[in-house]
Structure 1
Amino acid sequence: MEKQSFSYNYVRLFPKEQIGLHRQSSWELTFIVIGSGIKLIGDTTEPFQSGEVVIIPPDIPHCWYFNGNNTNTEGKIVNITLSFTNEFLDRCSLSFPELHRYIEDLKKNQEALKYNRSQSVTIASILKSMYKQNEVERLSSIIRLLAILPLADKTHIVGKYKERDRKQERLDMIRVFITCNAYRNISLDDVVRHVGMNKSAFCTFFKQSIGKTFITYLNEYRIERACQLLKQENISISEICYHVGFTDIPYFNRVFKKHKGCSPSQYRCEQ
């Protein structure tokens, strides 16, 4: 089988099947068809929504953590990813002089970029049309894209390269996992499995890195989230309790008072 010069993937999977933090030597153009959550790209962590189109240069670590609240009728998220290498871009530049300036502009960029709404609609339309195309037809669509991709609005930077740091990557994975899953009942086994460590090593690593246990850190995060929700008068305290991941209201009240020095109702009255 001949080596492909690019890779096109129309992905449908359950949120739990998402790929963890990774990096590759190719460019990655991603269109979120259905889904939302938190994306971690290089040095930046921020939310994403359906319709978003992002291009990531080679060697920038990244991951997309989808939540379970935005899926298709099968409970799956949907995205399209087109990958191509710098070698592919160089061959295109040599073969098609008309593309040279566009490709050089694209290769100069070292930051992950999110396209604005109008650019995203144009790029998404081409990516969706590629689903039913053969490899030669897809190649012609990529040529169309190469004249568009360098036109990203530079104010929409969503991540920069950072040196590989295994410790920091693990901490980033843990933080994003908590952000995406704090609303549900998280066990220590869940996060240990997510980062690929055994339980004893994880507990030692986390305590040395953060200065507190995982459960303490998780509870602090949930209480801070609860404080934000308590400022909204239309949400009851019991609803907030379950929304931030606690399953027992008395326990929620005790943890809240331990961290804030007052009960949730007192905190709300003082706001």
Structure 2
Amino acid sequence: MRPMVETVNVAANTSFKVETYSNSHSCGSAGWHIHPEYELVFVRNGSGSLRIGTEKRSYANGALVFLGGNIPHADFGNKDREDNLEVVVQFKKEFLEEKIKVFPELTKIKKLVEKSKQVLLFGEEVHHRLGNDFLQFRKLDEQGSLVKLLYLLDELSKNVPYETLFDSFTRSTYKRDEIKRLEDTFEYVNERYDQNISVSEIANRIGLTPNSFCRFFKRMTQKTFIGFVNEFRVEKAVELFREENTSISEVMYRSGFNDPSYFARQFKKYQGQTPSEYLKGKYS
């Protein structure tokens, strides 16, 4: 089955994304999917399966996995226990391949990043030892999260036991030009979500006609482009609502909407409640 291309919505003031999923709050991309970002996944406990590329591997008491970008996979979590948590850290390739390389002190981390393209499965001792560090992401701000991420990558780059899932992973079955077009589309929306989004402009940017682009986007993501943009803007609106003293009208305009009723409908569609209900719950 062809994997769905997932967009990873990294906030403007960060270079990576951290999400924590509980037994009742599962990852939204549980199906077969692919994205260009690197991914570090910690599953606290329970048993499940790691479905990555052509391989399937079972785990019995949680898991710790590091995989490079553009490797198709399914969600790694499980619902075995009520106290289970899955922490997913996703890094833009620029963060690992461009920014880190300017520091000569991070040679071991660079090597770890390169090995992640083979998919690294870390042993039980490492999983247990670093468990509390992954759980601390929930309480950290952006700067603290960055320091914690670098600490974890440093620990994993040391002489710790791990298994590689692949001798080498071939991406020949996934067309590079299609992945590149999706990356360019996601970047375009990330840069312009608060402005007018033009289908004609993005289609021309990636070398397609508007109709061909819409068909291409739906085939690759199983979403319409307009639906994707609205969902992206709603996610940005949620980020803005988390800031102090933000009004509904301010958030509406800053996230790219300009009609209050349309904003309310789209917000409820993707968040299950209206903006006013969201704010009421926030301050109650």
Whole-Å Cα distance in 2 between the matches of residues 64 and 2 of structure 1?
Answer: 25
2:124 to 82, 96, 117: 117
Whole-Å Cα distance in 1 between the matches of residues 125 and 65 of structure 2?
Answer: 13
Correspondence for 2:113: 107
Question: Conserved in 1, the CA contact under 8 Å of 2:21 and 2:27?
Answer: no
Question: Conserved in 2, the CA contact under 8 Å of 1:23 and 1:59?
Answer: yes
Correspondence for 1:11: 21
Out of 129-138 and 9-18, give the one that drifted further. Answer: 9-18
- Counterpart of 1:47, as a letter, is S
Q: Displacement, 1:11?
A: 0.8
- Counterpart of 1:148, as a letter, is E
Q: Displacement, 1:50?
A: 3.4
1:134-167 per-residue CA deviation (whole Å, 9 max, x = no partner) reads 111111111111212234767612355343658x
Distance 1:65 1:87, change over 3 A: closer
Q: Displacement, 1:102?
A: 1.8
Map 1:160-239 to 2 at 5 A. Answer: 161-163=169-171, 165=173
How does the TM-score come out when normalised to structure 1?
0.51
Out of 25-34 and 6-15, give the one that drifted further. Answer: 6-15
- Counterpart of 2:16, as a letter, is F
Whole-Å Cα distance in 1 between the matches of residues 50 and 41 of structure 2?
Answer: 12
Correspondence for 2:34: 23
List, as ranges, runs of 4+ consecutive aligned residues in structure 1 with deviation greater than 4 Å.
13-18, 65-68, 152-155
Correspondence for 2:152: 145
The number of aligned residues is 161
Question: Conserved in 2, the CA contact under 8 Å of 1:13 and 1:78?
Answer: yes
Whole-Å Cα distance in 2 between the matches of residues 25 and 145 of structure 1?
Answer: 21
Whole-Å Cα distance in 1 between the matches of residues 120 and 37 of structure 2?
Answer: 15
2:66 to 55, 61, 68: 55
2:92 to 85, 88, 92: 85
Q: Which has the greater radius of gyration? A: 1
- Counterpart of 2:44, as a letter, is V
Higher relative contact order (CA 8 A, sep 6+): 1
- Counterpart of 1:79, as a letter, is E
Correspondence for 1:39: 50
Q: Displacement, 1:3?
A: 4.6
How does the TM-score come out when normalised to structure 2?
0.49
Q: Which runs of 5+ in 1 are unaligned?
A: 167-195, 197-271
